[in-house]
Structure 1
């Protein structure tokens, strides 16, 4: 961690000092508590390195908890690209995992883990740049909420970088815990550095912000149920 310009080694205290042997990795907020969790795609084609893929839950930014077994995501096949997204539009992030390696005997079906859901709220944000790039890459987002515990701020940066074999979303999905309302959303655009502020945004919704436009657009999304059918 960066402590006033001086870096301190906190891997052991944070629960991150275990050699997990990952090849792919990505970040997402599985319980919408505002803290990014980590999923690791582990292993290699050698059976001696056959280890479960790993889920680490971010405990309020203080440490990481290994919830692989309780979450049911400890797949043994070699892990590659990982994507977090609300695939079924029900308000929580699911996990898509590309599995298997480059050898013919290492091929395997990909996996989609559906999130069972939590009681926390969220907001999904899509940016449209005009002076900035179309996708708003490089923009900074701040969501300010009100709750019984007071006011909280949630920060995200919009980027194009992910891990090996993965890709970020075209929208930014932000968990906002037990927020009672969204006080304000601030967007700082990359080209101009200008910050726009928006209010009266509903909880548990997807909204689109266009650079230099003072209004926002609510985007309707229909949730659906994914089912497994035998071939």
Structure 2
């Protein structure tokens, strides 16, 4: 598959993840009387991954997340030379989705993106008021386990065809655990996509949602590669 098509798949997959997941948080989570709440947002993020993994996973591998790309590289599943192009495509796809969400959201009189706009935060900007240290630990553990699930579900010994379901359900579970903590990142592209449209504290705190998920992704990839994977 050409690199252009692979990057296009990553662009559209990340766009859909941000548009579907963050869009559900912005528009539907607290809609009066009919809001989907945390559980609905968690399911929406999982569904974005399931649907796009089946739609374009056969083209690009279905990463849609810089932490996944780096973690798969650390796990020996992805070429190092392709890491940066993938990350660029993911970030651009996420930012375009964030821009579309902003245009839709500001179509409602009185909407203020600085209130949250599905942005990730810690401390005073954590949904539940969790400290920086607690948020870092949550993002590290959850991203590492996400990569362990991804490696295991796509192992050649795993049941064929069920990888996207396992990965999507894992992302749903991750959100069920951590929406109150950080609003759930485990994905630097997702965090970047809305931070710049939120425009204030989200940009200032974005460093953590790059650093920790990337470290967690590498950790998960290394754990699976050296402690869990069975090689011929």
- TM-score w.r.t. the length of structure 1 is 0.25
Report which of the two has the higher share of strand.
1
Larger helix proportion of the pair: 2
Higher relative contact order (CA 8 A, sep 6+): 2
